[in-house]
Structure 1
Amino acid sequence: MGRLTGGDPSLLRRINSAVVLDALRGAQTPTLTELVHSTGLSRPTVEGVIEGLTESDLVVEVGPEAGDTRKQGRPARRFRFHAEAGHLLGIEIGAHQVRVVLSDLSGQVLGSHGRDVDEAASADDRLDRVRGTVAELLRKAGVARSTLWAVGVGSPGIVEAHGEVRLGTALPGWTGLPLGERLQRSFRCPVLVENDANVAAVAEHWKGVAVGTDDVVFVLAGLSPGAGSLIGGRLHRGFGGAAGEIGALHLLGREVTPEHLLSTTGEPLHPLDEPAVERVFALAKQGDAQAKDAVERFLGRLVHDVAALVLAIDPELVVIGGWAAGLDGVLEPLRAELTRYCLRAPKVTLSALGQEAIATGALRLALDHVEQQLFAVEQTSMGRRWP
């Protein structure tokens, strides 16, 4: 639909529709009278909007509650937002797994499913695994693909706004991949792609340890750490979507590459993968001197990477996620060293969402898109089924 002008006869109706829908989503099962009070609109206006939203399947009438019967014997009519009218997906595409989360239009999670994937899998094979995982979850949940309104995707790499991975070294064949376009072929709804650390930051702000905190850095800690930042409650992507790529700081000096940092032999660690790193941490815990030195170097590098962001952004909270967050001894060195390096040390804590953070953030990405459509005056209309 084109942009509205001041003379558009449907403008006021659309504004009223958005106002009533917002009030419905913020309440349980309000009556018409309660909606009139909460919106400030007249009763005839609210009744007309409700009729249109009901025709659009965005609102349903529900049964009366105890005490609703009035003197005339007719109970007050109650309504609710029809969250089951559509569904949303959040997808994580990682090096070792793909994970999918399904929700209704309110963001209420209805199910999740994950499948392992080979680290060396090609882009085509990895995308096939994503499609298979989506199909399995929809089948298990009894949800038709046609009811999907939006799909959010969290992926490693620098992701352009239109969904192309400009640079993605973590996954084979990922650099230059038109990820959004490739996945769009499997859906009849919008597909939105974002960097994995960015969506994880969004997830923690929505349902995790950062609820109520608007200046947050989420560190996706691993062999090549990345970070997502919220400034004033809004995701900060940077001019080209590369904000938070702290894993590239090792390029400033070859001696601080992960292969050298975690070596216990003087030779670069090979293969450089998570099981190998976990073995180094286990040896350090057992008292192996060389392994302890390697772990100290690894944590020191992580501290410097995080400190660079903290000094630039001055967040209230730093959240540590990713597989390295499960290793012993991560938090205390970070807290101590950030106090040492930073003018004002932030709070540092572990992710509350764990392995669900990226898929949950991708789901929030889809929900944000739908809410923008529902509540934008240019889009909201009655007598039309979304999306």
Structure 2
Amino acid sequence: MKQTRTNTPNYLKHLNKKKILQYLRDNSETSRAEISSALSISKPTVSAIVDELIAEEWLYEKESAVASSLGGRKPIHLFFNHSAHYMIGIDIGGTLVEIGILNMAGDILALDRFETQVALKEEDLLSKICNTVKGLLQKESLASDKVMAVGVGAPGITDTENGIVIEAPSLGWVNFPLRSELEKQLQLPVYVDNDVNVAVLGEQWKGKAKDAENIILITLGTGVGCGIIVNGQLYRGASYAAGEVGYMITDKNEAKEGYDDIFDGYGFLDSHVGGPSIVKRMERKLKATTNDHPLKRERLTAKRIFDYAKQNDPLASEVIEETVDHIAYALVNVICIFNPQYVILGGGISKSGDWFLPKVEKVLEKHLPLQTEISTTKLDNLSIIGAGALCLREHESLLKDEGVV
């Protein structure tokens, strides 16, 4: 009989090793007997594999602080070693690139950032990213062989299987081979996904929606993005374009009349809700008014316009109310299709969410028969954490194949 990948002894051992390691990652401080019972794997097999994982530094043993109820020796427990390997998380945004080093628990050990558009104009963006990664590793005294993988969130439609950014308007990328270019320079395994898909993985791993099965994350930043988890799995769509809500139309009359793209290739919602679109509309109102408005003397940002709207400034309020309306009606459309457990808002504009969410909820109450919990993310560095979660999902569940066919 021809031996295939799935019936070789090596492969069965490989599967058991992955199961045990996954179990220990989620259930630290346990025993060999508990693993055997939980996974229905024989005690001798568990013991042999655990010994291997200890030798490889994935696990360590430690005597319990408390003796068993029967007395005698204190039990020996197994712990997952969160410092066995590390992950690099990279979030490439239209405004900022953020890069971090994480341990296996998702704790961020080091972080750096730089402005995307400045790097695009002044130097090669990928070289800047790779030099920053190397600088962080050097700062933390970490050798590259301690890095398990690199997770990358890219802005735009991304072919995750081949690591190609199909289109990222804010970067001017079309069919850009991001994974292969980064692997060439870093000499590490690289996994690439849309930046909002990466962020929603972070929410599912360590955020408010921890372990939830049906989640929607909407990011409000340079543009608008949507990450979707259905039945516990990322939903990417037939051509990796699921969640591209930036193209959603929330005012058919205005869409018919035409509107200005903030970046070439951006959609209707991007061009009405994204930070640059808020600034552009405020600039128009300031230009049209004869009053000496204080914002005429300031560097305009979406944050400053929100600040003025919170103080009931008429011009700023008009711009922000229009923005909030577009957000609310977009959410009505998304929620009625997916019926998620949670809708979470992220991105720079979401930092004003506690102020504008009551306005959004009024629209949802009026137009939706069922209400969904809506909140803003409470996770700092969400996309970096999500990039770590992407590594854990994609990197063969922490273990590479061991020569099986």
Q: TM-score range by the shorter chain?
A: 0.7 to 0.9
Whether 1:332 aligns to 2:330 is no
Amino acid at match of 1:316: Q
Percent sequence identity is 26
318, 332, 355: which one aligns with 1:293:
318
- What whole-Å deviation, never above 9, does each CA across 1:237-271 have from its counterpart, x for those lacking one? 1111111112123594424643475542577xxxx
Q: 1:315 to 1:261 in 2, by over 3 A?
A: farther
CA distance in structure 2 between the aligned counterparts of 1:88 and 1:3, rounded to whole angstroms: 32
Amino acid at match of 1:49: I
Question: Contact 1:17–1:380 at 8 Å: present in 2 too?
Answer: no
Q: 1:288 to 1:125 in 2, by over 3 A?
A: same
Say which SS state the counterpart of residue 191 (structure 2) adopts.
strand
Question: Contact 2:99–2:112 at 8 Å: present in 1 too?
Answer: yes
CA distance in structure 1 between the aligned counterparts of 2:220 and 2:25, rounded to whole angstroms: 36
Q: 1:325 to 1:74 in 2, by over 3 A?
A: closer
Q: 1:280 to 1:67 in 2, by over 3 A?
A: closer
Question: Contact 1:113–1:133 at 8 Å: present in 2 too?
Answer: no
Question: Contact 1:150–1:369 at 8 Å: present in 2 too?
Answer: no
CA distance in structure 2 between the aligned counterparts of 1:87 and 1:62, rounded to whole angstroms: 22
CA distance in structure 2 between the aligned counterparts of 1:214 and 1:295, rounded to whole angstroms: 33
Q: 1:336 to 1:112 in 2, by over 3 A?
A: farther
CA distance in structure 2 between the aligned counterparts of 1:245 and 1:54, rounded to whole angstroms: 44
Aligned residues: 367
Q: 1:19 to 1:309 in 2, by over 3 A?
A: closer
Q: 1:339 to 1:80 in 2, by over 3 A?
A: same
Say which SS state the counterpart of residue 278 (structure 1) adopts.
helix
Question: Contact 1:97–1:117 at 8 Å: present in 2 too?
Answer: yes
Greater shift in the superposed pair: 37-46 or 336-345: 37-46
Q: 1:99 to 1:47 in 2, by over 3 A?
A: same
Q: CA deviation at 1:38?
A: 4.1
Q: Which residue is equivalent to 1:10? A: 10
CA distance in structure 2 between the aligned counterparts of 1:94 and 1:60, rounded to whole angstroms: 38
Q: CA deviation at 1:232?
A: 1.6
Q: CA deviation at 1:66?
A: 5.4
CA distance in structure 1 between the aligned counterparts of 2:315 and 2:113, rounded to whole angstroms: 36
Question: Contact 2:88–2:388 at 8 Å: present in 1 too?
Answer: yes
Say which SS state the counterpart of residue 183 (structure 1) adopts.
helix
Q: Which residue is equivalent to 1:271? A: none
Whether 1:193 aligns to 2:192 is yes
Question: Contact 1:214–1:230 at 8 Å: present in 2 too?
Answer: yes
Q: Give the TM-score normalised by the residue count of structure 2.
A: 0.79
Q: CA deviation at 1:380?
A: 5.6
The two structures, once aligned, show a CA RMSD in angstroms of 3.2
Q: 1:36 to 1:130 in 2, by over 3 A?
A: same
Q: Which residue is equivalent to 1:49? A: 49
394, 399, 404: which one aligns with 1:369:
394
Question: Contact 2:119–2:128 at 8 Å: present in 1 too?
Answer: no
Query: Aligned ranges for residues 1-387 of structure 1 at < 5 Å?
Result: 3-6=4-7, 8-62=8-62, 65=65, 67=67, 78-104=77-103, 106-122=104-120, 125-161=124-160, 162-171=162-171, 173-250=172-249, 252-253=255-256, 254-255=258-259, 257-258=271-272, 259=277, 262=282, 263-265=284-286, 275-327=300-352, 329-354=355-380, 356-370=381-395, 372-374=397-399
- What whole-Å deviation, never above 9, does each CA across 1:269-322 have from its counterpart, x for those lacking one? xxxxx9433343334334332332221111111222222211221222211111
CA distance in structure 1 between the aligned counterparts of 2:365 and 2:396, rounded to whole angstroms: 40
Q: CA deviation at 1:65?
A: 5.0
Question: Contact 1:221–1:321 at 8 Å: present in 2 too?
Answer: yes
- What whole-Å deviation, never above 9, does each CA across 1:110-164 have from its counterpart, x for those lacking one? 5131222152532853323322321232123221112111110112111112221
Q: CA deviation at 1:325?
A: 1.0
Question: Contact 2:86–2:146 at 8 Å: present in 1 too?
Answer: yes
CA distance in structure 2 between the aligned counterparts of 1:36 and 1:285, rounded to whole angstroms: 58
Say which SS state the counterpart of residue 176 (structure 1) adopts.
strand
Q: Give the TM-score normalised by the residue count of structure 1.
A: 0.82
CA distance in structure 2 between the aligned counterparts of 1:373 and 1:118, rounded to whole angstroms: 31
Q: CA deviation at 1:91?
A: 1.0
- What whole-Å deviation, never above 9, does each CA across 1:332-376 have from its counterpart, x for those lacking one? 12111122222323211111114x1111111110111235253xx
Say which SS state the counterpart of residue 119 (structure 1) adopts.
helix
CA distance in structure 1 between the aligned counterparts of 2:348 and 2:53, rounded to whole angstroms: 45
Task: For CA contacts below 8 A with separation 6 or more, give which structure has more relative contact order.
Answer: 1
Q: CA deviation at 1:14?
A: 3.4
Question: Contact 2:93–2:116 at 8 Å: present in 1 too?
Answer: no
Q: Which residue is equivalent to 1:270? A: none
Amino acid at match of 2:184: R
CA distance in structure 1 between the aligned counterparts of 2:370 and 2:213, rounded to whole angstroms: 17
Q: CA deviation at 1:31?
A: 4.2
Greater shift in the superposed pair: 108-117 or 219-228: 108-117
Say which SS state the counterpart of residue 173 (structure 2) adopts.
coil
CA distance in structure 2 between the aligned counterparts of 1:138 and 1:151, rounded to whole angstroms: 12
